[in-house]
Amino acid sequence: MPTAIIPAVGGRPGRAADAPRPGSPADSRPLPPDVDQGRSADPAATALIPAVTGRRPAAAPTMDSTALMGAVPPVPDTGEPADAQGDSPAEPPRPRRGERVVQLRPEQTGEGYKSVYSELTRPSLASRLRTGIRVAGEVLITFGLVVLLFAGYEIWGKSVIVDARQDDLNSQLTQAWAPDPTVGPTGPTKKPGPPVEGKPIAGLYIPKLDKHWIVVEGVTPKDIRYAPGHYPKSALPGEVGNFAVAGHRIQATFWRLDELNSGDNIVVEGKTEWYVYKVYQSHIVKPYQVEAVAPVPMKPGVKPTEKLLTLTTCNPKFDNYQRLIIHARLDHVQAKSAGPPAELEG
């Protein structure tokens, strides 16, 4: 390798041989204070510096503003073809199994440009079937929720309404039974008139079920909406014949009527007496078998000789294609002045 000998001054590398000597007119720069201008350089103090040959070294790549953020610095242009530098476009990935490649570029057809996603959005038999199943499922779920809400209203919602209405009927019955202020205690007793449809006529207690209702006159849907109703042509409490009462099979009324057994007590409250009945039979009949409320149950046309009570309601629960019938016989009568009967305690 070619070398150049440059003398060193004062133990330091000096200038090249053809460079202006320090202190000469060609070099107007001041000399350092440690250099003796009057002393010649030591020819033995030399240093070998390799000569620079060939092409110049490539300059360091210029850093742009993105280099500080970890970006890859630009690749210098070497003049080679793009294919040689590895910049050729990569091949599109092959679809995996089960995948479908859809051309995103719009295609021109006779009707105009084809939608980019037309292949994906086009309905098929499978998509229509899935849509139909989803819609049917939503309809069934909605229908089920409606049925549950209706059942909840029938069981619990009506109870609140019936209880409030029963309080009103109780107040009306108490007022109807109150003594007439225009008649003295020794005056003649006013004979009660016939029952008025829709008006309260008696109290009904079933101690086993811990239930108490006010019975109204009439068995139409309007009459028994909030209370048990008395069959108009049947006997009144304590009379010979059949005191027949109908009620809805709801939580607030005759829901648990099927729990009554022979010997259980049913107490009816009149204006001046308590009537205590004992259950002796329960059975199920068809809705058209009205002979269940005849003066002699199941024997229409027979003259009655007993004082009976009959309760009727729908059967089974949540349906009405049958009728549940409870028959009771009068056991004894107790004056209200003597207080409530012991049977009311269960």
Q: If you ran DSSP here, which 8-state letter would residue 337 be given?
A: G
In the prediction, which pLDDT does 111 show? 67
**Residue 283 annotated in active site:** no
In the prediction, which pLDDT does 16 show? 45
> Would you say residue 71 has pLDDT above 70?
no
Token pair 């005849």: residue = 294
Q: Which of the following is catalytic: 212, 248, 327, 332?
A: 248
In the prediction, which pLDDT does 72 show? 53
The model's pLDDT over 261-273, given as tens digits with 9 standing for 90+, comes to 999 999 999 999 9
> Would you say residue 74 has pLDDT above 80?
no
Tokens standing for residue 200: 């309260």
**Cα 123 from Cα 125, distance rounded (Å):** 7
In the prediction, which pLDDT does 10 show? 47
In the prediction, which pLDDT does 13 show? 46
In the prediction, which pLDDT does 159 show? 83
Q: If you ran DSSP here, which 8-state letter would residue 9 be given?
A: B
Arithmetic mean of pLDDT, 97-108? 65
Whether this model's pTM surpasses 0.85: no
Its sign, for the CA torsion 168, 170, 171, 175, is: positive
In the prediction, which pLDDT does 179 show? 82
Q: Which of the following is catalytic: 230, 283, 314, 327?
A: 314
In the prediction, which pLDDT does 5 show? 47
Confidence of residue 158 (pLDDT cuts 50, 70, 90): confident
In the prediction, which pLDDT does 191 show? 65
Residues 6+ apart with CB under 8 A from 317: 249, 255
Confidence of residue 11 (pLDDT cuts 50, 70, 90): very low
Tokens standing for residue 146: 């409606």
The model's pLDDT over 279-334, given as tens digits with 9 standing for 90+, comes to 999 999 999 999 999 999 999 999 999 999 999 999 998 888 999 999 999 999 99
**Cα 203 from Cα 194, distance rounded (Å):** 17
> Would you say residue 28 has pLDDT above 60?
no
**Residue 230 annotated in active site:** no
In the prediction, which pLDDT does 1 show? 46
Its sign, for the CA torsion 243, 248, 252, 258, is: positive
In the prediction, which pLDDT does 87 show? 54
Average pLDDT, the chain: 78
CA trace torsion 251, 255, 259, 265 (10° rounding): 90
Largest CA distance in the chain: 166
Looking at per-residue confidence, does 75 or 238 come out higher? Answer: 238
Confidence of residue 9 (pLDDT cuts 50, 70, 90): very low
Backbone φ and ψ of 274, nearest 5°: -105, 135
Confidence of residue 32 (pLDDT cuts 50, 70, 90): low
The model's pLDDT over 107-149, given as tens digits with 9 standing for 90+, comes to 666 666 666 556 556 677 888 899 999 999 999 999 999 988 8
Neighbours of 257 (CB within 10 A): 21
In the prediction, which pLDDT does 188 show? 58
